Amino acid sequence: MLKSAILALLVLVAIPSVGPLLAQSGDSSSVTKPSTGRTWTLSELDTLSSHKWVWRDPSFKEVVLQTPDSLPDELPYLKKNIAYDYPAQAREKQVEADVAMRVLIDKKGKVRAAYIQMDSGHEDMGFEEAALKVARENRWEPAYLHDESMAIWVTYKNRFRLMTTSAGNPVTKEGKWSWWVHEEEPSTQLTAEPPAETTPSTKDVQDSTDFIPFERMPEAIKLLSPTYPPVLAAAGVESSVTVKVLVNKKGKVVCATIWTPSDCPGNGFEESALRATLEGKWKPAMQDGKPVAVWVTYEIKYRLR
């Protein structure tokens, strides 16, 4: 029988080890979540003489207009994504934020202009300056129209999260044990509006109860064994956790949630399991010769040697 949520036969066994698999900071209950900031146009920013949220390469003189008939066949994509420096004051106060950026990418993939399209909503935290610095240094594969590279304006969100995957992708905690991974893609919007929200729940992702048929189930390429919580290891506590992960069309885990908690929930087993599952690598499920996103459920056992 076809199923959209698969109970895998795979069982991972975690033994005592050290080192977190995801960068993290602070208790999630004390984190200030992102808020909606003000939307800016380039002309508005130019009227603010003290503003530092706009950058232009003075050597680039070309005027790039965005019209419906000039949209590319292929969007630009990041070749080199520079990691941002989390603002020290924001990290200390456990504040997360979203900053919408608009950047001009030339025919060679170099950023020639950048400005803040929607601020973080947190004054004097440094999110905007950090986002603008990274935007200037990013390197892109250019957009293409009729097999020729072209200069183009694109928009995207820079998400500042206190937790990231090993690849640097930000992780948002929705609820106690439901974590989402964000992997941003640029948008070629013709308006001055910031990019629409594209969380996994609204972009190419189904609910865990949706029926999604498939002919070939996902295959695990690499699943990391979770870190055994030191306190529980020292106390000689063993248990198991069942996790449910959403494997997208590229074989990446974009969501992880606890399906069945341990015998002692809230003491570290669940969080350790979630961190490990977000690092998993899979061959995606297939239907009619095309990859599809499906949920996979499997058990992780914590055992002491």
Q: Which of the four pLDDT bands, split at 50, 70 and 90, describes residue 24?
A: low
Question: Partners of 6 in the beta sheet?
Answer: 296
| pLDDT of 212 above 80 | no
How many angstroms separate the CA atoms of 255 and 29, rounded? 19
Q: Do the Cβ atoms of 31 and 163 come closer than 8 Å?
A: no
Structural domains for the chain: 5-24+203-302 (3.30.2420.10), 28-161 (3.30.2420.10)
112-160 per-position pLDDT tens digit: 999 999 999 997 899 999 999 999 999 999 999 999 999 998 888 888 9
pLDDT at 1: 40
Mean of per-residue pLDDT scores for the chain: 81
Long-range contacts of 164-172 (CB under 8 A, 24+ apart): 164/22, 164/23, 165/22, 165/278, 165/279, 166/21, 166/22, 166/23, 166/279, 168/81, 168/83, 171/22, 171/278, 172/199
pTM for this structure? 0.72
Q: Do the Cβ atoms of 270 and 262 come closer than 8 Å?
A: yes
| pLDDT of 213 above 80 | no
Q: How far apart are the first and last CA of the chain?
A: 38
